[in-house]
Amino acid sequence: MKIERDKSDLRNYTPSSKPVNHVMRKTGESPFDQEMNGRREAECQFRMQELLKEIDHLNERLNKNMTVNDLMLYKRLVKQFLQEAGARAYQIKQQRARNRRGRSILVSIQTVDREIETLVNDFIDKKKDPFELLIALDKIRGMLVDMVI
């Protein structure tokens, strides 16, 4: 039995001592992945809108009569909103996401968190009059609306 050695076949052969560099090309998302991501985004947007409605309702109650219980509930709702915004930012980019102004959403969350702590501490210590506290509530709401957009 004779073995024929054709030199044209040797061009396709790679010796095992050399590392093989295969180029893997990433394809676009499948239609199913696109649909799932779209649904997740819509659901997240809906939850953020609902939390914002609850915060607005509680903000109106705080405008009429400011109590510690309502203020702590406000703080809890804002924390939930911030967690949702952080999760949304992670889902969108899975890295430090940027909003339309180019600011980091994570920095915005820290800023809102700091404002909430200042608001609660000022209310408890009675350092500010109620009008200044209401201005702080509006400022926090504005930051939350910026995150939704």
Mean per-residue pLDDT over the chain, rounded: 72
CA distances from 80 to 58, 84, 95, 120, 136 (A): 14, 6, 20, 16, 19
- Range in 29-33, 78-82, 121-125 with the lowest mean pLDDT: 121-125
Residue 57 CA to residue 77 CA, distance in Å, equals 11
pTM for the structure as a whole: 0.54
Query: Does the pLDDT value for residue 97 go beyond 80?
Result: no
pLDDT digits (tens, 9 = 90+) for 8-34: 655 665 555 555 555 555 555 678 877
Task: Quote the pLDDT of residue 114.
Answer: 74
Residue 2 CA to residue 85 CA, distance in Å, equals 72
What structural domains and CATH numbers belong to the chain?
31-148 (1.20.120.490)
